[in-house]
Structure 1
Amino acid sequence: MKRTRVLPVTCLVATMLSACAAPPPPPLASSATAAPQAEQPTAAPAAGQKDLLDIIKERGVMRVSTDANYAPQSYFDEKTKTWTGFDIDVAYEVGRRLGVKVEFVTPDWSAITAGNWAGRWDVSIGSMTITPERQKVLDFTPPYYYTAAQFGVRADLKDAIQDLSDLEGKTVCVGESTVYEQYLNGTLEMEGEVIPPPKNAKVATVKTDLECIQSMQAGRKDYDAVLTAANVLADAIKKGAPVVTLGPTVFADRVGISIDKAAQPNAKFLAALSKIVEDMHADGTLSAISKKYYDGFDLTKLTK
């Protein structure tokens, strides 16, 4: 990956963590990074086959894959036995507009990104970054929000690790099968600007990014740093996690709702989901949900 200028979203975390009045600018749109349009499924339905949308409506329930431990996007509150978070609210609103109930399931992230869901769930509304590799097995709506990848280091190492180059030989924790793991391993395919990863960093994977930070909160020294979404890191620091941000954000995430390419036919379902995303952008619903969970910041728009 070639070196490029620092992303405009560098101030995303800084603004969230400071008293600055201006909201954090999301990634810049450009000819190279314009938000993708809804994808077009390639397989035509056989005669008499029902589209996935029809099956869901007949069932009356849309099964949504999510993560029970990925605040502020999604988490399950054991005390109240309720789901909460940005993605959760988005999923409920999508279900409302489709006229069906929403049921959440929690497969491993690696199973979601691999495709071939075999009907175990219908859709992923779970902060999935759109990448060319994932588009081989999944169909995506246009982005419903935007974030950026941000390094954080253990607070006790903030004097020793002050730059991305200081991560050479250090252990960086990431969620498995995430774009963050791919970035560190040098296999990430991503539109837009990408700052090269630190050399020779040791990559440690866990089920979900937040486990990295929770390990640091527990006082463990397994990991020197974490790479996750800027908004996840900001939320954890706000809640007292012993982590500090490191350097600029390193690439921008365009986050879409996804469905399994193998769940054919699905053209009506994808079109319905894409229309709902577009409508939720247009009527301000996505902005309102973003502001609810991200300290008043609207992460649903690109800066032109």
Structure 2
Amino acid sequence: MRKGLLLILIVMLAVVTAACGSSDDSSDGNNSNKDKSSASSKWSSLKEKGKIVVGTSGTLFPASYHPEDSDQLTGYDVEVMKEAASRLDLDVEFKEYGVDGLLAAMKSGRIDAVINDMEVTKDRQKEFAFSTPYKYSYSTMIVRQSDLSGIHSLEDLDGKVHGGGATTVFSKIAEHFGAKTKTYGNVTNDVYLRDVENGRTDFIINDYYLQTLALKAMPDIKVQLHPDLKFHQTESAIVMPKDADTLKQKIDATIKEMRDDGTLTKISKKFFGGKDASKKPEEDIREIKGLDL
């Protein structure tokens, strides 16, 4: 039996890719031809196999998880990927990794793409290709019900303890404001929430939609969303190898088609309590200055 309730999103440190040469020189022209071949080879390989292998955590409710008493993988991200693959005439095979291992698995060639509520960031874009976003959101934080963990603004995070993944955007935000991060492995959501409740940590920064539903799933734990703090607007997308240009074009066109015909909205409302996460939020979201994400 597996429970799919975990609040981890990941950020891997990116390395700068080599710049492309000019096409004026004959050798550079050969490189250009190789680049074009590389850009299409990934897609050609997938079409030949008839299958795309996609990495996900399987523990991120409600994006990628196993319902209680079931081994069936589902969630907003999973169903979006299934539909996109179907429209591309591909079977989809999901492989599950801890969130800190997803991008490494793709770099090593064990998987073809990643979908796990993965935020588009400048650092990641240096090393990976991202599809057009299929989800828009922003960050909030979970705090103790009794005293809001003594937090009334982001500046109050100084000296507090944040529960999260070591390489996440959310930990970067917490540490930017002076907090320390207590890290976890691939554990379920109740571990995070109870640590806030009992004071081992003070808060958890994460996605608004994910946190809202996680709290509804465990109402006995004495924590809540902070009533006033909304910050760091986000976009989530499918991650692919940097040189998979043709695959990216195919997936981009498919995501647009799914948005235009209402499929993204339909899937979102199923998993996000009737809310449409496929559209940009209208709330006033604080931008965090001085932190390049």
- Pick the TM interval, shorter chain: 0.7 to 0.9
Percentage identity across paired residues of the two chains: 26
**Partner amino acid, structure 2, of 1:217:** R
Q: Which residue of 1 aligns with 2:222?
A: 242
Q: Which residue of 2 aligns with 1:18?
A: none
SS at 1:129 equivalent: coil
- Map 1:66-215; keep pairs closer than 5 Å: 66-77=56-67, 79-113=69-103, 117-158=107-148, 160-186=150-176, 198=177, 200-207=178-185, 211=188, 213-215=190-192
Tell me the alpha carbon deviations over residues 82-135 of structure 1, each in whole angstroms, 9 at most, x when there is no partner: 011100110110111111111111233333346861211111121111111000
The equivalent position to 1:257 in structure 2, one of 238, 254, 266, is 238
Q: CA deviation at 1:206?
A: 2.4
Q: CA deviation at 1:51?
A: 1.6
For residues 115 and 215 of structure 1, the distance between their equivalents in structure 2, rounded to whole angstroms, comes to 25
Q: Say if 2:139 and 2:234, in contact at 8 Å, map to a contact too.
A: yes
For residues 211 and 275 of structure 2, the distance between their equivalents in structure 1, rounded to whole angstroms, comes to 15
CA distance 1:252–1:225, shift in 2 (3 Å): same
For residues 134 and 99 of structure 2, the distance between their equivalents in structure 1, rounded to whole angstroms, comes to 19
CA distance 1:51–1:154, shift in 2 (3 Å): same
Q: CA deviation at 1:300?
A: 1.1
Q: Is residue 229 from structure 1 mapped to residue 219 from structure 2 by the alignment?
A: no
For residues 250 and 207 of structure 1, the distance between their equivalents in structure 2, rounded to whole angstroms, comes to 26
> RMSD in angstroms over aligned alpha carbons?
2.7
Q: CA deviation at 1:257?
A: 1.2
Q: Which residue of 1 aligns with 2:4?
A: none
Q: Is residue 284 from structure 1 mapped to residue 255 from structure 2 by the alignment?
A: no
- Map 1:267-278; keep pairs closer than 5 Å: 267-278=245-256
**Partner amino acid, structure 1, of 2:130:** F
For residues 92 and 58 of structure 1, the distance between their equivalents in structure 2, rounded to whole angstroms, comes to 18
CA distance 1:119–1:141, shift in 2 (3 Å): same
Tell me the alpha carbon deviations over residues 117-175 of structure 1, each in whole angstroms, 9 at most, x when there is no partner: 12111111211111110001101111111011111113344374444344331101122
Q: Say if 2:54 and 2:111, in contact at 8 Å, map to a contact too.
A: yes
For residues 290 and 161 of structure 1, the distance between their equivalents in structure 2, rounded to whole angstroms, comes to 31
CA distance 1:295–1:116, shift in 2 (3 Å): closer
Q: Which residue of 1 aligns with 2:12?
A: none
Name structure 2 gaps, 5 residues minimum: 1-18, 21-30, 283-293
For residues 99 and 88 of structure 1, the distance between their equivalents in structure 2, rounded to whole angstroms, comes to 16
Name structure 1 gaps, 5 residues minimum: 1-40, 187-197
CA distance 1:102–1:78, shift in 2 (3 Å): farther
**Partner amino acid, structure 1, of 2:241:** D
SS at 2:69 equivalent: coil
How many residue pairs get matched?
Answer: 248
